Chain A
Amino acid sequence: MSTAEFESVDVLESEITTPAAAATTELEARNVSVWFGQRKVLEGVNMSFPKNSVTALIGPSGCGKSTFIRTLNRLHELLPGAALAGEILYEGRDIYSRDVDPVHIRLAIGMVFQKPNPFPSMTIRGNVLSGLKLSGMKRSNHDDIVEETLTAAGLWTEVKDRLDRAGGELSGGQQQRLVIARALAVQPHVLLMDEPCSALDPASTLKIEETIRQLSKEVTIIIVTHNMQQAVRVADNTAFFLAAENEPGRVIEQGATTEIFGNPQDERTLDYVNGRFG
């Protein structure tokens, strides 16, 4: 990344609202370490996510960002050999305590994945409403939900005349916005996004970023991204992950996005946000 791009950070800085640091904490990770078998892949992550904030997780591939967000809604435990230590508090309660049903956690903490995964056997409309059926959630006025969530995901105008076509017919960017709409239909309190724009063109990426900014008024968002301008554009807070060779990933630095990009305290962060390694 060139210095020209780095300057754009300063231009944007004035537009970014102050991070909602004083707001209520919705989700909090305390000393979270993660293993696959005997291999430790993540160590001692402490992070708190204020309500209705956007947090970007940045860092090179293989440093445990995706693994970390999968621990936040209990998808991590589905992988073979998965193990974990530490606590993850959602609304003040450990989501890994014995009497917590993971189904409830995943309903409240939704997720959008790197690769768009609309259900192939369902229509666009059916995809949007699928979460309601799968979770057994009762909500009336389905038509309103379809319109609301597709509008929120920035897809409504493009698909409103073909809601009964298969979701798989849409382009990659449209599919990704469709699955965002699908995730929103169950009204999650937190939305995890694992590199949601990595396979999308700039126009689709821009639309999804607008969507993220809009959503952050009601939803707490945690987004993994390799696109540093994207972190600057959408995130209130940023955390930088790094894994040294043969060592588990750690959080090197975290704080307000403006600080991480404008005035990083750690040299490795400075190098990374300037594109000098990783």
Chain B
Amino acid sequence: MTTQTLDPTALPNLAEQRPQRPWRKRTPRFKLAVVLAVIIPAVVTWFLWQTSTIPTPVLLVAIYLPMQLIASTLASIVTRGRRGIADSIVIVSAIGATVFSLVILLSLIGALIVRGWKALSPSFLLQNNIYISPSTPLEYGGIGHAVLGTALIVFLASLVAVPIGIATAIYITEVRGRAVPYVRFFVQSMSGVPSVVAGLFILTTLIVTGALTQSALAGGLAYAILMLPTVARTAEEVLRLVPDELRTGALALGSTRARTVFRVVLPAARTGIVTAIILGIARIIGETAPLLLAAGNSDQTILNPTGSPVASLPTYIFNNVALPYPDAVTRAWGAALALMIFVAILFTLARVLSRGRLGR
């Protein structure tokens, strides 16, 4: 090693310096190795897929995956030495698992679109089902009444479950009362309640006793039972992530515990709280059994939360999918597709709304 002294003439010119990211530059050897490691297994698999009779899943799992692992390992040995082996195996496995779950998800969405697309039209989304029989052609009737019914039921369920769920989370993480272990135990047990039991509970305690009839309110209460533990547990987790320094910081300014919770802790956890509500809605929105028991069904547009049975998307799907008429089945798929699109819109909206100025 030679001693180095600063030679000003050898220095790069300061005025000509531009921001660079040298760590993103790759050697040609590295690029070649990566390209070969991707192409060779894919080509060999494609060739076998064309010529042999090996079933596609077996081909992918038993031939492509091991071959890709070996190719990536070899590529990483060539580029980084033995140190890179573990990295390449982890990366290939992670990408493989991601692709696998994406394939399942996309084929599900694909099936919904292929089978439900025919039914979707503005009138299908807006009209109700009065005067429509299962054999009526697709151009007539729609799910407007079920969309409104689902929205009404979910709204009523959120009205009950969100405040109680967040209050439970606040009790567990902020009040830290004596009953915390028991409360957590009950909340956890509640998250295991089968949805049909929630429906039966409302049926036996409120409907059979005559306090309520089958209605949006009864359905919403059944939904709330299912939604509550999800909201409470998720909210608990996000409140737990709020650093204690914020709480002590607020208390050291003379804040009361209540103001600390409502002005500092909850706002700090706002995005997480929104996520808790989203997860709660996602948990319930497709549940069918509680609504069959507690909300009933209807062909009409019902906006009165009490008094009469109300339609919803899950019960609409349930009632149509098993009918021996092709158009009815298509209507069911269309309703399922619509349900999925509404949920996607709802989640996107919630994400955008929670990304406020002061969000993290």
Contact = CB atoms under 8 A, between A and B. Distances in A.
Given A31-B12, A31-B17, A98 B4 contact: no
A31 B4 contact: no
Contact of A85 (B3, B17, B80, B83): B17
Interface in A51-96: 74, 77, 82-87, 89, 91-92, 96
A77 B27 CA distance: 18
B17 A86 contact: yes
Interface stretch (B18-26, B134-142, B285-293): B18-26
A24 B1 contact: yes
B21 A92 contact: no
Nearest to A87: B12
Contacts of A44: 14, 17
Interface string A26-39: 00101101010010
Nearest to B7: A30
B52 to A, nearest CB: 40
A84 B83 contact: no
Nearest to B25: A98
B352 interface: no
Interface of B is mostly: loop
A44 B16 CA distance: 11
A202 interface: no
Interface string B73-110: 00000001101000000000000000000000000000
Contacts of A22: 3
B17 A46 contact: no
A99 interface: yes
B1 to A, nearest CB: 6
Counting chain B residues whose Cβ lies within 8 A of the other chain, the interface size class is 20 to 34
B6 interface: yes
A275 to B, nearest CB: 29
Nearest to B16: A85
B19 A85 contact: yes
A99 B27 contact: yes
Given A30-B11, A87-B12, A136-B83, A92 B1 contact: yes
A82 B19 CA distance: 9
A96 B22 contact: yes
B21 A77 contact: yes
Nearest to A38: B19
Contacts of A43: 14
A87 B22 CA distance: 10
Contacts of A31: 11-12, 14, 17
A30 B12 contact: yes
Given A77-B23, A85-B19, A92 B4 contact: yes
Interface string A198-224: 000000000000000000000000000
Nearest to A101: B80
B83 A91 contact: no
Nearest to A26: B1
A233 to B, nearest CB: 27
A151 interface: no
Contact of B18 (A85, A91, A99): A85
Contacts of A24: 1, 3
A46 B12 CA distance: 11
B17 A83 contact: no
Contacts of B25: 98
B11 A98 contact: no
B29 to A, nearest CB: 8
B2 interface: yes
Contact of A48 (B2, B4, B20, B30): B4
A247 to B, nearest CB: 14
A98 B83 contact: no
B18 A84 contact: no
A91 B1 contact: yes
B27 A98 contact: yes
Contacts of A38: 19
B19 A98 contact: no
Given A101-B83, A103-B83, A84 B14 contact: no
A48 B22 contact: no
Nearest to A135: B83
A25 interface: yes
Interface string A89-113: 1011000111101110000000000
Contacts of A83: 19-21
A46 B11 contact: yes
Contacts of A33: 14, 17, 19
Given A28-B4, A92-B2, A84 B12 contact: no
B235 to A, nearest CB: 25
Contacts of A74: 23
Interface of A: 22, 24-25, 28, 30-31, 33, 35, 38, 40, 43-44, 46, 48, 74, 77, 82-87, 89, 91-92, 96-99, 101-103, 136
Given A31-B12, A48-B5, A83-B19, 19 more contacts: A22-B3, A25-B4, A30-B12, A33-B17, A40-B19, A74-B23, A83-B20, A84-B19, A84-B21, A85-B12, A86-B17, A92-B4, A96-B23, A98-B26, A98-B27, A98-B30, A99-B27, A101-B83, A103-B83
5 contacts: A40-B19, A74-B23, A86-B12, A86-B17, A97-B22
